[in-house]
A and B are shown apart, each in its own frame.
Chain A
Amino acid sequence: GAGVSQSPSNKVTEKGKDVELRCDPISGHTALYWYRQSLGQGLEFLIYFQGNSAPDKSGLPSDRFSAERTGGSVSTLTIQRTQQEDSAVYLCASSPGKGQEKNIQYFGAGTRLSVL
């Protein structure tokens, strides 16, 4: 596609439920990032995928958070047993991973998660 696509754009869930957020990166981009943006806060790094390398999961806040990237393209961020403090906008970004602009990140519009 033309840009990074995220779905759903909005998700309302009840505390304790599991949610899955999806990210379709720009075709050909080898690097994919997940961030969390809370109100009035800077973006918080969650996880980074680069090609077939093991992902950098150092930003995941707890073991309730996990992410996969299947076939080096689409990624899913899963939050288990959601808590109210998980409410935020979850942003996905991809970058070419090579060339002059290898680290320029292109962001999706995000998924706004509200945990009631």
Chain B
Amino acid sequence: KNQVEQSPQSLIILEGKNCTLQCNYTVSPFSNLRWYKQDTGRGPVSLTIMTFSENTKSNGRYTATLDADTKQSSLHITASQLSDSASYICVVNPGGYNKLIFGAGTRLAVHP
């Protein structure tokens, strides 16, 4: 069964600290993996998208990594800001389809 598992479920960090969110997937075939940020009451916004051949991709203070062999991805947030408080969702595209498989998300709270 195609699944996307994210950990931790929730995380609290202090402003200025770094954190890493994890995503494991069992989706096959695989086309690409995306990380989305979803603010409370808003729709998800794309942060990064990586294909099979890409190991890392950055978007400002966000850096995503992908290990297609172990089917793991991580999202690293550097020097966190209060505005980083949101849910971060890992999404896998099984390829050839337009139905993405979404993880349940990690809820991040950044405290001053």
Number of A-B contacts (CB under 8 A): 47
Q: How many whole Å from A47's CB to the nearest CB in chain B?
A: 10
Say whether B89 contacts A56, CB under 8 Å.
Answer: no
Say whether B103 contacts A104, CB under 8 Å.
Answer: no
Q: How many whole Å from B44's CB to the nearest CB in chain A?
A: 5
Complex interface residues of chain B between 87 and 112 (CB less than 8 A to chain A): 89, 93, 98-105
Q: How many whole Å from B106's CB to the nearest CB in chain A?
A: 12
Report the count of interface residues on B (CB-CB < 8 A): 18
Give the size category of A's interface with B: 20 to 34
Q: How many whole Å from B33's CB to the nearest CB in chain A?
A: 13
A105 at interface by CB-CB < 8 Å: yes
A65 at interface by CB-CB < 8 Å: no
Chain B residues within 8 Å of A, Cβ to Cβ? 4, 41-46, 49, 89, 93, 98-105
Identify 20 residue pairs between A and B in the complex whose beta-carbon atoms are under 8 Å apart, listed by A's number: A41-B104, A42-B101, A42-B103, A42-B104, A43-B89, A43-B100, A44-B102, A45-B99, A50-B98, A56-B98, A91-B43, A91-B44, A93-B43, A104-B46, A104-B49, A105-B46, A107-B44, A107-B45, A109-B43, A110-B42
Chain A residues within 8 Å of B, Cβ to Cβ? 4, 31, 33, 35, 40-45, 48, 50, 56, 58-59, 91, 93, 103-110
